């Protein structure tokens, strides 16, 4: 909506109360927006500036080296980059089918009367703070994983070579599962929204041709929503990549590249949050560098997601209030 | 089918119809079974999704409720082994930080939202896009920014640094929610005001903003809910404080911080506090989220 | 289709009030028979007690003012109301020897024999023209490329679309104009070679030129498939249909069949006064 109507200009006071002229008004708004822009730029610049010493001391390749040992001045970020990617991958491998199936159920299968309350419940869960998920994961799930889930999975899937090593509970697998639980509400909310607005006339068109219920969903509904689904997926991935405290609590914080899905590991956010307090000098600068790498990844993924999810939809609004 | 007096196979359409019907009826059972299985899997996934989400709420309530006592809400945090502690300092810190962040970001966010609602063009589009992207930036990096901007420059951890970081998280949310709400106000309202000679500022203040209020309140409540739940930025900016601290220029305690720090401790009493704080935080966030929906629907209904 | 040499039956021009047979003319066998069909939503009837026969190779139009239940009745013929919880359909709908609403009748299979074209063109936007045309075939389990190609071409030819799309079958359906999209939807329905094609006001969303083309098309199609068309446009009914069923909303807000008979007769010498009023435009 643009206010395209011509309005009188002039700075005179009206009726005794201070009334800004249109010029001053627009100027004020522009100034405030400039503050926002300045803050964003300040953000990027300060991160780059603080990370610079690490780059000048260590060159550029340190980011992808695999040893992190502050005592010997090694600050390779590879284990953490891999950890970030791996935990996110586990989360999304689970979230895509389960999220899509749940969203389809909420949009098309659940009885009409139950749809609003269930959908609202799912959206509310997106607002639960991540630290609560972390606490729950550590105290409730970790023992469960250690005693039951991991032994079971190892016996069934051990042949893949992914499940070597002892069952510890904390580690990549648990972190991935916690991330899955955390991004699920966001993914389901967005997916449900875009699936539900596929025009009914297409659903009817498919039905009238003799399609079974699943054929309608698979061949018409899901493809019809695919841009939004992709956007929701990307948004959820972005959230998983940037998640800090829940992961830090359950991943075991081991600065080595994980060799098994059960190994303790670490991610870029968990690295930063665990070492920031005591780090100084080059190590601190390296942490800033890690933050920069994380920012680049997060912004890239988020930018793609935002281009896919149209900004004015309810789904996008729901996405922006999901706590990271 | 109707009877025909000539050889059916000489008519290509009838022949094709016969072939298609034959395939259709032969494959019917397979298609229906497949459909039932696939839909069954969707239901299964729904159940799989609900279970952990309910489990989280369930456990937090079961384990957190016993922690709630008068002491819990009135005494400050104590180290392990010492009885009678609470989270009062964390509550104070959370409220103060939230209040400062809200007080600063709501006006700025709304004015920015007003700007965006009134502008088209590339500049506005870029800013809008940046705000959207900012809502998804990893919160730890915003914590780092808060550290660089405030802690380093002003020589120490403080509640204000935390408020700064939380504010940066809340700002783009309020901007976009504000813009959406303001755009939702029908144009004829502001046009009527202009026709009466009002200037833009007065129109905005007296006509547009009040009309957009439901959407704005919804957005602000959701932004606050998000801001209160953030932990990572606080870890790098407020440092924590086991004593009651009203002064926001000093290190403070906050609920998410207490939860995080106590979670990895092996002491049962500290864990108890963590669960209690988690329940409190979850309840507050849920109330704000539910509240924002209630406000939205109540005020929407009144408008009609 | 050649009309089979059957002895003429006395099924034309029946005044349902007096039971009087008015006209003798040769007709094809009834391909669809409705007996006392009633559609209700949550106890409230939308269409009540409709009975008539649809003859093969003919175009039967359902006409009447808005709210008279024409579309509701049409959608009962391919069991589109199955998905509506509160809907109940009573009475009998026979498709040849098949009781459409019997428990043993599968609605999915029924819909491959009774196709539907909707008011607004609804091609599947993520599919190409070819994929749209064969969509119904694929839903019904047809996988042989030869059969798919043959049916698609025949259907597109039948819908008078083949010449303009044959070189761009892979193009997206959205690149077609409104009238072309509707013809694509008709082709899509035809490709499955249904016995009956239901058309729900297929031209009301189109411009006059596209409308005319589709009316011509419908006239040609009746040799291939029996057509039941809902239209609120009386002139269209006159131009296009062989027989008309005139429905009107009764006092209980349910639509009922007032008169059914050959179009020419219904419009020139209707037996019921209400029909006379309607065709003379005294109410819309």
Residue C118 to residue A205, Cβ atoms within 8 A:
yes
Q: What's the total number of domains in chain A?
A: 1
Residue A42 domain-assigned (yes or no) = no
CATH architecture of C30-279: 3-Layer(aba) Sandwich (3.40)
Q: Which residue has the higher pLDDT, B37 or B208?
A: B37
C-beta of residue C135 within 8 angstroms of C-beta of residue C127: yes
pLDDT tens digits, one per residue of B44-59: 999 999 999 899 999 9
* Neighbours, chain A (3 or more CB pairs < 8 A): B, C
Q: Which chain B residues are closer than 8 Å to A235 by Cβ?
A: 136
Whole-number mean pLDDT of chain B?
Answer: 87
Which chain A residue has its CA at the smallest distance from C187's CA? A209
A203 domain-assigned: yes
Q: Is residue A273 part of a domain?
A: yes
Question: How does pLDDT run across C123-150, given as a tens digit for each residue?
Answer: 999 999 999 999 999 999 999 999 999 9
CA distance A249 to chain C (A): 44
Instruction: Tell me, yes or no, whether A106 lies in a domain.
Output: yes
Mean pLDDT over residues C5-31, rounded?
Answer: 52
- Please tell me the predicted confidence (pLDDT) of residue B265: 86
**Which of A214, A312, A321 is opposite residue B226, by nearest beta carbon?**
A321
Query: Which residues from chain C sit within 8 angstroms of residue A226, using beta carbons?
Result: 126
Is B140 close to A242, i.e. CB distance below 8 A?
A: yes
pLDDT for A2 equals: 47
Per-residue tokens: A200: 């009914």
B4: which 2 tokens? 């025909």
- How far apart, in Å, are the Cα atoms of C91 and each of A175, A191, B150, C53, C198? 60, 41, 78, 14, 19
Indicate if the pLDDT at residue C241 is higher than 50.
yes
pLDDT value of position C22: 46
Flag whether pLDDT at C192 surpasses 70. yes
**Is A210 close to C118, i.e. CB distance below 8 A?**
no
How far is the C-alpha of A160 from the C-alpha of C29, rounded, in Å?
A: 66
Residue B180 has a pLDDT of 87
- Please indicate whether, in this complex, the C-beta atoms of B16 and C150 are within 8 angstroms of each other: yes
Distance CA C152, CA C8 (A): 36
pLDDT category of residue A121 using cuts at 50, 70 and 90:
confident
Q: What phi and psi values does residue A303 have, to the nearest 5 degrees?
A: -65, -45
Quote ipTM for the complex.
0.87
With a cut of 60, say whether residue C19 has pLDDT above it: no
C7 reaches B (C-beta below 8 A): no
Domain of residue A69 covers 61-320
Chains that touch B (3 or more CB pairs under 8 A): A, C
Pick the residue from chain C with its C-alpha nearest to A227: C126
pLDDT in tens, A273-292: 999 888 888 888 889 989 99
Q: Does C204 touch chain B (CB under 8 A)?
A: no
* Nearest to A294, CA basis, from A229, A221, A244, A228: A244
Give the closest residue to A234 by CA, choosing from A127, A309, A322. Answer: A309
Facing C139 at nearest CB: one of A112, A209, A223: A209
The arithmetic mean of pLDDT across residues B75-91, rounded, is 84
A136 assigned to some structural domain: yes
* b/e map B263-291, b = 16+ CB within 10 Å: bbeeeebbbbbbbbbbbbbbebbbebbeb
Domain ranges (residues) in chain C = 30-279
Confidence of residue A19 (pLDDT cuts 50, 70, 90): low
Contact B259 A132 (CB under 8 A): yes
Q: What is the domain-level CATH number for residue A127?
A: 1.10.3720.10
Percent with pLDDT over 90 in chain C = 70
Percent of chain B with pLDDT over 90: 43
Tell me, which fold does domain B68-303 have in CATH? Answer: MetI-like fold (1.10.3720)
Name the pLDDT band for B224 (thresholds 50, 70, 90): very high
Q: What is the distance in angstroms between the Cα of A54 and the nearest Cα belonging to chain B?
A: 16
Task: Provide the shortest C-alpha distance from residue C69 to chain A (in Å).
Answer: 19
Q: Name which of A119, A12, A47, A38 is nearest A292 in CA terms.
A: A47
Which pLDDT tens digit goes with each residue over B124-135? 889 999 998 898
Check CB contact under 8 Å for A317 and B177: yes
Chain C contacts to A (CB-CB under 8 A): 78, 80, 83, 85, 108-112, 115-116, 118, 120, 122-127, 135-136, 138-140, 185, 188-189, 192
Q: Is residue A52 part of a domain?
A: no
d(CA A179, CA A19): 51
């Amino acid at each position: 909506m643009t206010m395209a109507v011509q309005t009188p200009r002039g700075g005179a006071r009206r009726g005794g109360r201070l009334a800004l002229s249109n010029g001053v008004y627009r100027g004020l708004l522009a100034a405030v927006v400039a503050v926002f822009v300045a803050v964003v730029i300040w953000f990027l610049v300060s991160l780059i500036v603080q990370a610079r010493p690490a780059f000048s001391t260590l060159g550029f390749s340190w980011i992808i080296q695999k040893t992190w040992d502050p005592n010997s001045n090694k600050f390779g970020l590879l284990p953490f980059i891999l950890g970030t990617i791996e935990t996110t991958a586990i989360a999304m491998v689970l979230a895509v089918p389960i999220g899509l199936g749940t969203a389809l159920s909420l949009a098309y299968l659940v009885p009409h009367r139950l749809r609003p309350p269930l959908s609202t419940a799912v959206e509310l869960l997106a607002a639960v703070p991540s630290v609560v998920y972390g606490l729950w994961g550590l105290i409730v799930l970790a023992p469960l994983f250690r005693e039951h889930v991991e032994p079971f999975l190892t016996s069934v899937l051990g042949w893949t070579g992914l499940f070597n090593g002892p069952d510890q509970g904390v580690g990549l697998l648990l972190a991935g599962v916690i991330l899955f639980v955390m991004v699920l509400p966001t993914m389901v909310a967005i997916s449900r929204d875009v699936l539900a607005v596929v025009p009914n006339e297409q659903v009817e068109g498919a039905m009238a041709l003799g399609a079974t219920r699943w054929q309608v969903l698979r061949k018409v509904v899901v493809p019809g929503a695919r841009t939004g689904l992709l956007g929701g997926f990307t948004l959820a991935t972005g959230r998983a990549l940037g998640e800090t405290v829940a992961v830090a609590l359950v991943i075991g914080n081991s600065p080595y590249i994980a060799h098994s899905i059960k190994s303790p590991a670490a991610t870029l956010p968990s690295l930063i949050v665990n070492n920031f307090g005591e780090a100084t000098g080059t190590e601190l600068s390296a942490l800033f560098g890690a933050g920069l790498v994380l920012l680049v990844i997060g912004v890239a993924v988020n930018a793609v997601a935002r281009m896919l999810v149209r900004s004015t939809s309810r789904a996008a609004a729901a996405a922006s209030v999901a706590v990271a | 089918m109707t009877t025909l007096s000539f050889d059916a196979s000489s008519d290509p359409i009838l022949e094709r119809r016969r072939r298609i019907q034959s395939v259709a009826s032969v494959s019917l059972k397979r298609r229906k079974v497949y459909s039932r299985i696939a839909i069954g899997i969707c239901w299964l996934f729904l159940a799989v999704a609900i279970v952990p989400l309910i489990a989280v709420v369930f456990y937090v309530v079961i384990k957190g409720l016993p922690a709630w006592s008068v002491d819990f809400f009135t005494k400050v945090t104590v180290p392990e082994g010492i009885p009678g502690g609470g989270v009062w300092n964390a509550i104070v810190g959370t409220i103060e930080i939230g209040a400062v962040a809200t007080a600063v970001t709501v006006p700025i966010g709304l004015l920015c939202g007003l700007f965006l609602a009134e502008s088209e063009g590339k500049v506005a589009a870029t800013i809008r896009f940046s705000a959207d992207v900012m809502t998804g930036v990893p919160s730890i990096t915003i914590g780092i920014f808060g550290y660089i901007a405030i802690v380093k420059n002003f020589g120490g951890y403080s509640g204000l640094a935390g408020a700064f970081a939380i504010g940066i998280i809340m700002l783009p949310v309020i901007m976009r929610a504000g813009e959406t709400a303001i755009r939702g106000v029908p144009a004829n309202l502001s046009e009527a005001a202009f026709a009466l000679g009002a200037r833009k500022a007065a129109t905005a203040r007296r006509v547009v903003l009040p009309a957009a209020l439901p959407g704005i309140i919804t957005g602000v409540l959701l932004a606050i809910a998000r801001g209160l739940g953030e932990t990572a930025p606080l870890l790098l900016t407020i440092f924590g404080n086991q004593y009651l601290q009203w002064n926001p220029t000093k290190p403070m305690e906050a609920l998410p911080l207490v939860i995080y720090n106590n979670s990895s401790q092996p002491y049962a009493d500290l864990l108890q506090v963590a669960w209690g704080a988690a329940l409190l935080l979850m309840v507050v966030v849920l109330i704000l989220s539910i509240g924002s929906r209630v406000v939205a629907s109540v005020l929407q209904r009144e408008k009609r | 289709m050649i009309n089979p040499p059957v002895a003429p039956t006395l099924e034309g021009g029946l005044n349902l009030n007096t039971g009087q047979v008015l006209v003798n003319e040769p007709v094809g066998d009834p391909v669809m028979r409705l007996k006392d069909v009633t559609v209700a939503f949550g106890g409230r009837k939308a269409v009540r007690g409709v009975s008539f026969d649809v003859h093969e190779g003919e175009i039967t139009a359902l006409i009447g003012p808005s709210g008279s239940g024409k579309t509701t009745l049409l959608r009962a013929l391919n069991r589109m109301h199955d998905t509506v919880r509160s809907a109940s359909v009573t009475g009998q709908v026979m498709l040849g020897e098949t009781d459409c609403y019997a428990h043993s009748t599968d609605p999915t299979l029924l819909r491959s024999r009774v196709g539907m074209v909707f008011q607004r063109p609804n091609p599947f936007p993520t599919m190409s023209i070819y994929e749209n045309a064969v969509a119904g075939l694929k839903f019904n389990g047809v996988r042989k490329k030869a059969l798919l190609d043959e049916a698609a071409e025949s259907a597109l030819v039948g819908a008078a679309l083949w010449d303009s799309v044959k070189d761009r079958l892979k193009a997206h359906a959205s690149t077609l104009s409104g009238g072309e999209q509707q013809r694509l939807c008709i082709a899509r329905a035809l490709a499955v070679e249904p016995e009956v094609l239901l058309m729900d006001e297929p031209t009301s969303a189109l411009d006059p030129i596209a409308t005319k083309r589709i009316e011509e098309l419908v006239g040609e199609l009746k040799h291939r498939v029996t057509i039941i068309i809902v239209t609120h446009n009386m002139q269209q009914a006159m131009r296009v249909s062989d027989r008309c069923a005139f429905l009107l909303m009764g006092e209980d807000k349910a639509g009922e069949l007032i008169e059914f008979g050959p179009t020419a007769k219904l419009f020139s010498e209707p037996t019921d006064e209400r029909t006379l009023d309607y065709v003379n435009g005294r109410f819309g």
